[in-house]
A and B are shown apart, each in its own frame.
Chain A
Amino acid sequence: MSETNAGVVIIGAGHAGGTAAALLRQYGYAAPIILVGEEPIAPYQRPPLSKAWLKGEADAESLALKPVAFYAEAGIDLVLAVKATAIDRVGHTVSLSDGRTLAYDALIIATGATARALPIPGADLKGVLSLRSAADAEELKAALRPGKRLAVIGGGYIGLEAAASARALGAEAVVIEKEPRILARVACEVLSTFFTDYHRARGVEFEVGATVEALEGGASGRVTGVRLAEGRIVACDTALVGVGAPPNDQIARAAGLATGGGVVVDIHARTSDPAIYAIGDVTHRPLPHYSRSFRLESVANALEQARQAAAAITGRPPPVEEVTWNWSDQYDIKYQFAGVPFDVDEVIVRGDPATGKFAVFHLTGDVIQAVEAVNAPAEFMMGRKLIGQRQPISRSRLADPAVSMKEVAA
């Protein structure tokens, strides 16, 4: 692969980029590896930022993907607080914001996503935060304590996890969602209702179907409230904006790579240029189990594509195709979900949501397309397996919690 011995350049030192670098060494790649990241710190895990870390149950050391010393020991050149500015596909080089130009044999784009900002007045007030980086999380954590009130704009997973963590830290929390229900884009109605009730019972307030018009500020320049379309103001000391994260695909577009809802890649994480790979949140990728393409935003996706790219670059057989999955921790709930509910014609709820342990299956005919499992690991694990196998099952047995998941699959 490495005719010039320029090696691999990875732009983006997040979960995907950091994992790809480590895997290349695990897979025996011997040429140089240069890992370029905009943030000033070595690759770390983002999921705990809204969960365990925010609640003070995990420290910086446990967030880190690898100890700092690892990179030097593994011969990975870690270039931090530097941004890649342009790709020269003909010359096989990447320009950096520090003025350097790096040559590559293979390039991996792992630039992730950026939290979407609200295009409304007051969005630049102090105390209006997003939650994407460790620095964002530090700021949010400092604002969550008894007597303080957090307004979460956007009822998605990050917002709900932050609201749960705020309550655990003794702060008040209100979730403002423009759709008629929370999690509208990512979960079914049964789940929306369950999570709404669960949060309400723990003191979280909800404003759904609410359009945010502006953020109000005080004399200090800090946010004091969220103004809704009807004119009402929801008071807060801090506002967390969690309304999606578009892909950082500008550098790929400028280089003429195929893009569209992210950088378009194949099942080996290869872009339209065979020497360039893209992995993680920035990609628009095939979902082999569904014969479609999609943009997944999850750690599982980042890691799967890191394995795909590292395998392709080192000439190893491609990894097993995975069924996409993710999880969310809120209070004592372990929520796990797998698959994507495409072409669903039946929804089966297994178990009673009132017991706090149930799963929702989405099917096309007798084939499971997706599963959403609340404190139901067996349903998640077996559901995920069945999605991958495209194995038809009996709907009536699936709907009966007295029939074990192993028997459902038998």
Chain B
Amino acid sequence: MPKITYIEHSGAEHVLDVKNGLSVMEGAVKNNIPGIDADCGGACACATCHVYVDEAWTDKVGSKSAMEESMLDFAENVEPNSRLSCQIKVTDALDGLVVRMPESQH
């Protein structure tokens, strides 16, 4: 299973095995990792699963849909490497992915 490292805003690090096919958001939520709220459960409707993708991985996680782009455009503290983690599907190619969480999702 691909390993994904989730780093909370506080610096606390969680390395998790996340099944292929789940989203990066689901990997955190199903393991009760704080910092990703995902209020809409992955419908790309709320922008509360915002993460910063580690620079080494920004190309590998694929590109944003127009919907995701617009939602992120109005989220707080957005950076060029910001993504909605519900829109990134876990595959073997993402083994080793590192994502960091913003201070708040609300």
Contact = CB atoms under 8 A, between A and B. Distances in A.
Contacts of B30: 64, 66-67, 70
Given A66-B30, A320-B106, A329 B43 contact: yes
Nearest to B26: A62
Contact of A381 (B26, B40, B74, B104): B74
Contacts of B39: 299-300, 303
Interface in B19-75: 22, 26, 29-32, 34, 37, 39-41, 43-47, 67, 70-71, 73-75
A45 interface: yes
B106 A322 contact: yes
A194 B73 CA distance: 27
Nearest to B106: A320
Please indicate which of the listed interface residues B31, B41, B70 has the most CB atoms of chain A within 10 Å of its own CB: B41
A377 interface: yes
Interface in B65-100: 67, 70-71, 73-75
Interface in A318-337: 319-320, 322, 325, 327, 329, 334, 336
Size class of the A contact interface (CB-based, 8 Å)? 20 to 34
A115 interface: no
Contacts of A300: 39-40, 46
A134 interface: no
A88 B74 CA distance: 47
Contact of B40 (A319, A327, A377): A327
Given A22-B32, A319-B106, A377-B70, A303 B37 contact: yes
A45 B71 contact: no
A351 interface: no
A26 B34 contact: yes
Contacts of A1: none
A189 to B, nearest CB: 23
Contacts of B37: 303
Contacts of A225: none
B43 A47 contact: yes
Size class of the B contact interface (CB-based, 8 Å)? 20 to 34
A379 to B, nearest CB: 9
Contacts of A334: 43-45, 67
Contacts of B44: 334
Contacts of A51: 43
Contacts of B41: 45, 47-48, 299
A8 to B, nearest CB: 16
9 smallest beta-carbon distances between A and B, as pairs: A381-B74, A377-B70, A327-B45, A26-B34, A45-B41, A377-B71, A320-B106, A378-B70, A22-B32
24 contacts: A26-B32, A26-B34, A47-B41, A62-B26, A66-B30, A67-B30, A70-B32, A299-B39, A299-B40, A299-B41, A300-B39, A300-B40, A303-B39, A319-B106, A320-B106, A327-B46, A334-B44, A334-B45, A336-B45, A377-B70, A377-B71, A378-B70, A378-B74, A381-B70
